[in-house]
A and B are shown apart, each in its own frame.
Chain A
Amino acid sequence: MKKIDYDELFPTIPEEVSRKIDEVVYEHLSEKTIDFSKNKKRPVTRWAVAAAALCLLVPTGVYAAGKAYHAYVVKKDKYEVGINISMGEKQSPSVDEAESGNAGENLQNQQNGIKKNVDANVGYKDLKLNYVPEDLHYNVDGPYGGKYTTNSPSNDRGMTCVFYKIPAEGMDSVIDYTLESETWETKNGNTAIHLTRAKGYNQLWIAFEGTQYAAQIYVNGFSEDEVKLLADGAELIDGTEECANEWREPEKVSVTSSTPEIRLDSGINLAVGDCYVQPLESAEVTLKSVSVQDNFDGITTDSIGRPTDYSEYLSSDGKIRSVRKCVKIGDGKTELDQVVSSEETVLKVVVLELEIKSLSQQVSEYCVSPRLLENNNGIMKQFARTEDNYAYYREFSYEMFGFSTEHETNKNSLVNLQPQENATVRVCFALDEDCFDNAYIQLVAGKNAFVPLKDLK
């Protein structure tokens, strides 16, 4: 008898219905609107994880009655928020405000608001950042192209800015792993929202009041003051063409979709000297050598060929030691990632030398992307990922590093490969010394060609 899967009986809630529910709830809770006239300081609203109450933040600045675009945060779950920018009714100034001595300021705001709304409909707009921390500079191209980094780029400090034009119907961006949200009005009268996150970059959203424009700025390693200055310094300027990206709802990853299973017995094991042909890519890869070393001697580049110094990972005895943590992966909504166990491990470096030959009749490009896989009862999985909800993390990544070649590259791709041309590439992986037995290098991502590492230890 066929078992009925009741969870499959109904389609999931359509986005439109979900959004409508948010709106209705927000509408009923909006009586909690903060009365800025009673707060002489710049309005600041926060919610913290510990706060039990649902906190819906309100549009800033009170001016022209009528519809305009507003930005606010909707707390969707314990660690998930929605950034909502949509058209809504503006509030009229309350009696309190009129009597509070701010009436003149409010009138000015009303006029500014009307003017801004008119401006927003004329011509194109561009984003100008009048403040960027002194130690950050914009990279026009290269591996950090489009990002602001320090002179020594790292994940600890930097920012990336995306300028959006919100569609007429508004937008709702869902952001998980959010610990805290802060909303305030900038000096220019715009709404700024800063999200502090437990995973991924923190985000600063600036919604340009009364317009359909907004900036989403990924910031890491910024002080609170720097975030405030960044938001205050952001302004819209006239552009000669549309500089904003059209906001699109990020594609949802289906929970039922899964990566096709890779089985060890469906692939081939490669030894030194073996050649793997990729007809679709018009290329062949030859495994020229595989070796193991206890240190980083001769390895001075990262995964895309940038100069990197690995000496900090060497311990006093000359071995590569790293802390390996088993982490239970949260959903980012109701639970965060949680360290289940932690242990020190000694790493060895596997060095592969590959020869890539173009079989194309034209000038081509080839992305070098081997991966470290683990044989888990015949199923090949990305290394150290035990189950869907658990993963091992090390200070030193399991990903490819030490990418180097004499050939012209763009990140980890060989570019301008001439027909029949060869290029030699070296790549490395760091592997825990107790994990060699089940470890394989997948020579080409997605392809069933494996280099067993068992005999190398």
Chain B
Amino acid sequence: MTKEVFGEMILHNKESLYRVARAILQNDEECQDAISEAITKGFEKLHTLKKDEYVKTWLIRILINECYAICRQNKWKYEGEAEIVAEADDYRELYAAINELNEKQRLAIVLHHLEGYSINEIAKMMKTSAGAVKMNLSRGRKALREYLEG
């Protein structure tokens, strides 16, 4: 795959990248950092991509890794500031609902319901089993319903 085609794919999928990052990270600034870093790594490692048709999945996997890396770096920060962050942002009701989920449930829901990936594809991206993805989806949906109906 050429750099130009890879670049075009990224520009076509900005929204997807943002949603995935937002499923894991707490604010837009960190999402921006994670996406930028993932794009940079994507360009650097493009020659290692084996099949062009998996390029988006491949980039999302890189992005998920970057998001978790930022989470690890900032763990101390979130523990102290979680409430402040939540109050500071102007979330919609539904976003507030999904914010109640844990990050694995959030990510599974984003990848499955918004990005249309299959259970198996998500399992590979999240480096977990298909059963675990199903469980995260099921619990996530249940929690969302309870929140929205509650």
Contacts and interface: CB of A to CB of B under 8 A. Distances in A.
Interface of A: 1-2, 4-14, 16-18, 20-22, 24-25, 28-29, 31-32, 52-56, 74-77
Contact of B98 (A9, A13, A53, A74): A9
Contact of A29 (B3, B32, B91, B144): B3
Interface string B14-53: 1101110011000010011001100110010000000000
A21 B14 CA distance: 7
A10 B17 contact: no
B2 interface: yes
B95 interface: yes
A189 B127 CA distance: 53
B149 A2 contact: yes
A21 B7 contact: no
B11 interface: yes
Which secondary structure dominates chain B's binding surface?
helix
A19 to B, nearest CB: 9
A35 to B, nearest CB: 17
Given A28-B3, A74-B11, 7 more contacts: A9-B98, A9-B114, A10-B98, A21-B11, A22-B11, A29-B4, A75-B8
A31 B6 CA distance: 14
Given A29-B3, A29-B4, A7 B35 contact: no
B60 interface: no
A21 B10 contact: yes
Nearest to A22: B11
Which secondary structure dominates chain A's binding surface?
mixed
B39 A4 contact: no
A24 B114 contact: no
A-B pairs, 6 with minimum CB distance: A54-B8, A53-B4, A13-B18, A6-B113, A28-B43, A54-B4
Contacts of B92: 8, 11
B94 A16 contact: no
A24 B36 contact: yes
Nearest to A23: B36
A2 B148 contact: yes
B67 interface: no
Contacts of B148: 2, 4
B56 interface: no
Interface in B66-108: 91-92, 94-95, 97-98
Nearest to B149: A2
A371 B12 CA distance: 39
16 contacts: A4-B141, A6-B109, A10-B114, A11-B95, A14-B18, A17-B28, A17-B32, A18-B18, A21-B10, A21-B39, A25-B10, A28-B3, A29-B7, A52-B5, A54-B5, A54-B8
Contacts of A21: 10-11, 14, 17, 35-36, 39
Nearest to B43: A28
B40 to A, nearest CB: 7
Contacts of B17: 21
Given A4-B145, A17-B28, A53 B5 contact: yes
Contacts of B122: none
A20 B21 CA distance: 14
Contacts of B23: 10
Nearest to B98: A9
A74 B4 CA distance: 12
A13 B32 CA distance: 10
B110 interface: yes
A32 B7 CA distance: 12
A103 to B, nearest CB: 30
Nearest to A29: B7
Contacts of B19: 10
A186 B31 CA distance: 40
A17 B2 CA distance: 24
Contact of A11 (B14, B91, B145, B149): B91
B98 A55 contact: no
Nearest to B18: A13
Given A6-B113, A25-B7, A76-B11, A20 B149 contact: no
Contacts of A53: 2, 4-5, 8
Contacts of A7: 114
B97 to A, nearest CB: 8
Name which of B14, B22, B110, B113 has the most chain A CB atoms within 10 A of its CB: B14
B31 to A, nearest CB: 6
Name which of B31, B94, B141 has the most chain A CB atoms within 10 A of its CB: B94
